[in-house]
């Protein structure tokens, strides 16, 4: 995994409407998620492969996390947008 994604400060050049899926892999990884509708967001961390669920994420939140997957299992948030490079 490229470490240069860790210091991403430029605006995103790639925005993607996210449909949570247990099988879709983002390569290169997304480096942030916008959450348009409150709920839980289950992701797979790009660097470690760990699956983590963020609970009760409020509408309008930007999660500054690098992910290779946004899982359908345990994700209840809606209108998710991924930021990439």
CB neighbour burial string for 64-83, b if at least 16 within 10 angstroms, e if fewer: ebbbbbbbeebbebeebbbb
Q: C-alpha distances in angstroms, 19 versus 2, 10, 45?
A: 25, 25, 17
pTM assigned to the model = 0.86
Is 62 in contact with 34 (CB distance < 8 Å)? yes
Q: Which runs of consecutive H residues, i.e. helices, occur in 1-85?
A: none
Q: What is the largest CA-CA distance in the chain?
A: 31
Domain ranges across the chain: 3-84
Predicted confidence band at 85 (pLDDT cuts at 50, 70, 90)? confident
- What would the pLDDT profile of 1-33 be if each residue is shown by its tens digit? 444 445 555 566 799 999 999 999 999 999 999
- What would the pLDDT profile of 52-71 be if each residue is shown by its tens digit? 999 999 999 999 999 999 99
Q: C-alpha distances in angstroms, 33 versus 29, 76?
A: 11, 14
């Amino acid at each position: 995994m490229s470490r240069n994604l860790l210091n991403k400060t430029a605006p995103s050049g790639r925005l993607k409407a996210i449909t949570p899926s247990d099988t879709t892999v983002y390569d290169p990884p997304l480096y942030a998620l916008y959450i348009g509708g409150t709920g839980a967001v289950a992701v797979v961390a790009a660097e470690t492969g760990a699956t983590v669920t963020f609970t009760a994420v409020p509408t309008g939140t930007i999660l500054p996390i690098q992910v290779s997957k946004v899982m359908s299992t345990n994700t209840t948030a809606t209108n998710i947008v991924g930021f990439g490079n």
